[in-house]
Amino acid sequence: MLFDFVLLDKLRDARHIAIFSGAGMSAESGIPTFREAHTGLWAKYRPEDLATPDAFLRDPVTVWNWYAWRRELVQQAQPNPGHLAVARLEALVPKVTVITQNVDGLHQRAGSSDVIELHGSILETRCFDCGQPADIAAVAATDREVPPRCRHCGGMLRPGVVWFGESLPSDAWSRAAEVLDDADVFFCIGTSSLVEPAASLPRHARSCGRTVIQINPEATSHDEIAQYILRGKAGEVMPELLS
């Protein structure tokens, strides 16, 4: 892929780069996205049956088991060249912050040191009732109940992700806003940009005059606001951009 010289200059001169990532970033690690036709999770499962607090209360066993399956997938996956290129940026730019919608921890495993998780982490577990965190490995060794129970209050344990209708973690959201104020370049990688409020971040970055770069093999609504659209896979475009 040939890159615009002005874009390469902007990257070289950047003081602070923000990377906003979605499920497409981890697709090449073998983790399914949500909304792609045929392969996306929502092509096979209904989000209202699995990814809302009501769904969990209606059928906690199904929801727990679905997330246990996905946790296993994530634990077996490896960061791909896209994650690794993002981590390598830290050696080239004074400051890099990753703002991810992903719950898989692959940016951190690739070596990114500043990662804001807007939708939580599938590797974390907490009590549905009292919110206390639980160590899932320790719990699984002693508690065979599905879902396992909180040792503080006896409530059901749940995955540490953000479901539809739930607020984003306030510390993550306020940190993302700070990054938006400070970063001069904003990458939008592998997201359909359909889920709010996360999808408002690239719009906001653009309205604040930041350079917005979109990396995605498909068109999304954010093509309208991006100054640069790099049509391709994150695991191919990001390493090329750095080479």
Q: Looking at the annotation, which residues are catalytic?
A: 119
Q: To which residue do tokens 């990458």 refer?
A: 187
| Segment interacting with ligand BJW (CB under 6 A) among 126-134, 172-180, 201-209, 231-239 | 231-239
User: Exposed, middle or buried by CB within 10 Å (0-12, 13-18, 19+), for 16?
Assistant: middle
| Segment interacting with ligand BJW (CB under 6 A) among 137-145, 147-155, 171-179, 230-238 | 230-238
Q: Which residues pair with 211 in a beta bridge?
A: 185
Q: At 114, list the tokens.
A: 């500043």
The reply to whether 195 sits near ligand BJW by the rule CB under 6 A is yes
Contacts of 180 (CB under 8 A, 6+ apart): 18, 186, 201, 204, 205, 208, 210
User: How many angstroms separate the Cα of 141 from the Cα of each of 83, 134, 136, 138, 148?
Assistant: 32, 13, 9, 5, 10
Residue nearest to ligand BJW (CB): 24
Please tell me whether 214 is known to bind a ligand. no
User: Exposed, middle or buried by CB within 10 Å (0-12, 13-18, 19+), for 147?
Assistant: buried
The reply to whether 103 sits near ligand BJW by the rule CB under 6 A is yes
The reply to whether 218 sits near ligand BJW by the rule CB under 6 A is yes
Contacts to Zn ion from residues 142-161, by CB under 5 A: 150, 152-153, 155
The reply to whether 222 sits near ligand BJW by the rule CB under 6 A is no
Instruction: Report the nearest approach of Zn ion to the CB of residue 128 (Å).
Output: 8
Which CB sits closer to ligand BJW, 213 or 234?
Answer: 234
Q: Can you tell me the distance from the alpha carbon of 155 to that of 160, in angstroms, rounded to the nearest whole number?
A: 15
Percentages (nearest 5) of helix, strand, coil residues in the chain: 40, 20, 40
User: How many angstroms separate the Cα of 161 from the Cα of each of 127, 128, 132, 221, 233?
Assistant: 12, 11, 14, 25, 26
Which one of Zn ion, ligand BJW, none is in contact with 162 (Cβ closer than 5 to 8 A by kind)? ligand BJW
Q: Can you tell me the distance from the alpha carbon of 64 to that of 180, in angstroms, rounded to the nearest whole number?
A: 35
Which CB sits closer to Zn ion, 96 or 127?
Answer: 127
Which CB sits closer to Zn ion, 85 or 127?
Answer: 127
Tell me, residue by residue from 95 to 134, as one string, x for binding to Zn ion by CB under 5 A and - for no binding. Answer: --------------------------------x-xx-x--
Q: At 142, list the tokens.
A: 């002693």
* Residues making contact with ligand BJW (CB under 6 A): 22-24, 27-28, 33-36, 40, 51, 101, 103, 119, 161-162, 164-167, 190-192, 194-197, 215-218, 220, 233-235
Binding residue positions for substrate: 67, 70
Binding site for Zn ion (CB under 5 A): 127, 129-130, 132, 150, 152-153, 155
Binding site, by residue number, is 67, 70, 101-104, 127, 130, 150, 153, 190-192, 216-218, 234
